[in-house]
Amino acid sequence: MCGRTACTLAPDEVSRACSSYYRGRGGQRRQPRWRDGDADKYRPSYNKSPQSMSPVLLSQRHFDKNAPAGECVLAAMRWGLVPAWFKNDPSKMQYSTSNCRSESILEKKSYKDPLIKGQRCVILADGFYEWKRQEKDKQPFFIYFPQTLGKKEDQVGSVTSALNNKSFETACLSDEASPDLTEEAEAPGVWTGWRLLTMAGVFDCWTPPDGGEPLYTYSVITVNASPNLQSIHERMPAVLDGEEEVRRWLDFGHVKALDALKLLQSKNILTFHPVSSLVNNTRNNSPKCLQPVDLNNKKEPKPTASTKMMMSWLMSSSPSKRKETDTRVRQEEGESKAGTKRKSAQPLQQWLQGAKKKPKNH
């Protein structure tokens, strides 16, 4: 299932990140615009729960029937689908609609109606949290797309948050864990920051009986967990991998519902790391929710200068402040030499190198 996510990018960064999945009529990558007023409704968060507003990518034709085919728009929608036919106050719904199972989506009216109408969307997030049941408690994990390193200085903080643990045992023991980060050449205008997770969903529009502003809500579609996630949980979000799958899922005019459902498969493409139990409480909303923890070491690792740089970057409220923070801390570290490639100084790489040391007994 998917009951908690993180989406820490600012509204303009979400739009830039979507250029990886969205092309205009001429085939060139484009940044989808936000619907009027929706960018202000969305609030970045390290710990998003149902009922919060999340960024969603969908076809512009849902709002303008005359829009060009393939044109997309970003909208802020509330997590937890409220059917258009629901008669009462949405807060009085007696059942959860934050997730819907792909296997039974055509059996339940709440989800079947919007699916048949073509009301498909892509929910965007840095990643999602899942809890593994243990004997006495539950261990949270953060799950996301493997990341690559770009060359933009103002994006270095988010990209260096990536850590690739290829299996549950790797994540827990930290003996063989290693970052899955590679440098890529950057083309002009191409987003090289955090690769957002793209989850398939359905949405609906509920209008108050006495009039008022329509409420747009969504549900995350889930599938059986992929092999590398089964040890954590039996379900996972239906992930759309790459530009073509995103395009087909959103193209309700040419890709009918039954064909679109074929895109929803368990994909063994995500990576993860264990995080602190701080994320258990939805009131906790800080970079520490995402920070990897060493399950063999109860003590919190002493922060390094590079770790402080990452945390400062994440806590900055705007891309401009992030760039200023990144430059300032790197100068303090003596790494301001022009043209120097930063490969080994990544915060999580340093964390990982420390984790490879033999754990102390406590």
121 classed as catalytic: no
Helices (H) and strands (E) in the chain — how many of each?
Answer: 10, 12
Burial of 261 (0-12, 13-18, 19+ CB in 10 A): buried
The set of residues, in sequence order, having a beta carbon less than 8 Å from that of 65 and lying 6+ positions away, is none
3-state secondary structure at position 133: strand
Closest by alpha carbon to 197, among 4, 34, 62?
A: 4
Catalytic residue among 2, 7, 100, 121: 2
Burial of 217 (0-12, 13-18, 19+ CB in 10 A): buried
β-strand pairing of 215-224 with 72-79? parallel
The CA radius of gyration of the chain, in Å to the nearest whole number, is 21
3-state secondary structure at position 81: coil
205 classed as catalytic: no
C-alpha dihedral, 118 to 206 to 56 to 290, nearest 10°: -130
Tokens read off for 301 = 């690792």
Catalytic residue among 72, 121, 130, 172: 130
So which residues are the catalytic ones? 2, 130
